[in-house]
Structure 1
Amino acid sequence: MITIISELLESHLSTLSNRLNLQIVYENIEATPNDEIYLKSNILPAITTSFDLESESRIYKGIYQISVVAPINTGKSRAQQIVESIIKHFPPNLELMRGNFALYINSVPSAYPAITDKTTYTIPISMDYRADTLIFN
């Protein structure tokens, strides 16, 4: 299921990145820094649990983190505007579906303090997701 979860979250982010003309750097892909702002996508799965007596149905939970990465010394305004766009694009209770599989954003996306290093200014945004699978015999 992690493949479907990744595809649903990243596809939804891709819609916004295309509209804002931003590159996305996905997990296990090396970033090639340039002089432009880009997005970094990370999916952090949590423990999968079950809610039925036979342990066949599953609850997939985790955190989706999107980082807005700007070149150092370019100011913060544009990066903050992008953060606001991402938060609006992933509202609480957003439902993303593929077939009969539904994933929900079940928290308010939150921006965290910026992280600055020698070359980048990064603002992380995190949100919780949840997907339940139901098995009926």
Structure 2
Amino acid sequence: MLNLTDPLSGLNTNELSNFEIGNLEIYQFDSTLIENTVVGDNEKCTCGLFKISSAGIDGWAEYKISDVQQHFDLIHWASVFMQLRGLSIYEGMNFIQNNHEPWGAVRKTLAESALLNLSSNLQNPSLGISLERSYLFSRSQSYFSF
């Protein structure tokens, strides 16, 4: 029986051990986009997209953080993800499972979701979405690539 709460249970270990996590990018959407698309109190929240790439294929995940300070430091917040670069997708998922305590729930879920999306897109490249960087840049107030 599959353990549906364990993200590793759905990964093909042998296949995904060959794919190394390469580029990571995170976008923090600008306040106008947040005000127009996010339901609820938008003054103290931020949201955006996280992208993990391997072998020219991208995995995406969205994030929303509530109750952020006025001067949210995206680079500091996202710097924990740098530890994933160079790992295989399977190793990355293991790393997240074993070292998520200092990351917190939002970053843990964000990284898991992006890796699961990446693994799905690697197995079925035609299903992956492609987002225009120029559009993402035009709608972002912060961006970090690592």
Q: TM-score range by the shorter chain?
A: under 0.3
Greater radius of gyration (CA): 1
Q: Give 1 or 2: higher helix fraction.
A: 2
Higher relative contact order (CA 8 A, sep 6+): 2
Q: Give 1 or 2: higher strand fraction.
A: 1
TM-score (norm: length of structure 1): 0.27
